[in-house]
Structure 1
Amino acid sequence: MNLRQLEAFRMAMLHGSITRAAKAMRLSQPAVTKLIAALEQEVGFRLFDRAPGGVIPTPEAIAFHEELERSYLGLQRLAQSAREIRDLRRGHVRIAAMPALATDLVPSIISRFSATYPDIRISLDVHTSPRIADLTAAAAFDFGFAHLPNRRPDLTVVASYEMACVVAMPPGHPLAARKMIRPQDLDGVAMVALSHHTVTARHVDQMFIDADVTPQIRGECQPSFAACALVARGVGISIVDPLTPAMFGEDTLSVRPLDPLIPFHFRLIRPAGLPQSRAAAAVMDDAIATVEASPLIERTGRERRDTS
Structure 2
Amino acid sequence: MSLVRAKTGYPMPPEYLDTRQLEAFVAVMSIGSMTGAAKALGKSQPVVTRLIQELEQELGFPVLHRNGPRIAPTEQGVAFFAQAELFLSGLRTISERARQIETVQTSSVEIASIPAIAASIIPLALQGLPGDQFPEHVHVQSTASENVVQAVLARTADLGIASLPLDNPGIDVHWIGEVPCVAVIAVSDALAGKDVLQPGDLNGRRLIASANPYRLRMRIDRVFAEHGIEPGGVIDSNATYVSLSLARAGLGVAIVESVTLSGLPIKDVSVVPLSFHVPFHWGVITATGLPLSATVRRLIDGIERQASKLAKFRKHDSLPIV
TM range (shorter): 0.5 to 0.7
- C-alpha distance in 1, partners of 2:310/2:228? 34
Answering whether residue 193 of structure 2 is matched by residue 202 of structure 1, we say: no
- Tell me what 1:240 maps to: 256
Answering whether residue 311 of structure 2 is matched by residue 299 of structure 1, we say: no
Q: Which structure has the greater CA radius of gyration?
A: 1
1:1-308 matched pairs, under 5 angstroms: 91-113=107-129, 115=131, 117-247=133-263, 249=265, 251-301=267-317
- Matched letter for residue 265 of structure 2: G
Amino-acid identity (%): 22
Structure-2 change in CA distance of 1:227 and 1:114 (3 Å)? farther
CA RMSD of aligned residues (A): 2.4
- Matched letter for residue 193 of structure 1: A
- Matched letter for residue 244 of structure 1: T
Aligned to 1:216, what secondary structure does the other structure show? Answer: coil
Q: Deviations over 1:235-273 (max 9, x none)?
A: 111100012234553642211111210000011000111
Q: Deviations over 1:183-212 (max 9, x none)?
A: 211011133232142522111212222222
- Provide structure 1 residue ranges, at least 5 long, that are not aligned to the other structure: 1-80, 304-308
Aligned to 2:315, what secondary structure does the other structure show? Answer: strand
Greater alpha carbon shift after TM alignment, 146-155 vs 184-193 = 146-155
- Provide structure 2 residue ranges, at least 5 long, that are not aligned to the other structure: 1-102
- 1:159 deviates by 0.7
- C-alpha distance in 2, partners of 1:300/1:264? 12
- 1:144 deviates by 0.8
TM-score by length of 1: 0.64
- Matched letter for residue 152 of structure 1: N
- C-alpha distance in 1, partners of 2:261/2:166? 28
Q: Deviations over 1:218-248 (max 9, x none)?
A: 5211111111111111211110001223455
Check conservation: 1:110, 1:122, Cα contact below 8 A.
no
Length, aligned pairs only: 217
Check conservation: 2:108, 2:135, Cα contact below 8 A.
no
Aligned to 2:220, what secondary structure does the other structure show? Answer: helix
- 1:148 deviates by 3.6
- C-alpha distance in 2, partners of 1:218/1:197? 13
Structure-2 change in CA distance of 1:116 and 1:243 (3 Å)? farther
- 1:121 deviates by 2.2
- 1:173 deviates by 1.5
Aligned to 1:293, what secondary structure does the other structure show? Answer: coil
Structure-2 change in CA distance of 1:295 and 1:246 (3 Å)? closer
Structure-2 change in CA distance of 1:144 and 1:295 (3 Å)? same
- Matched letter for residue 215 of structure 1: P
TM-score by length of 2: 0.61
Structure-2 change in CA distance of 1:95 and 1:178 (3 Å)? same
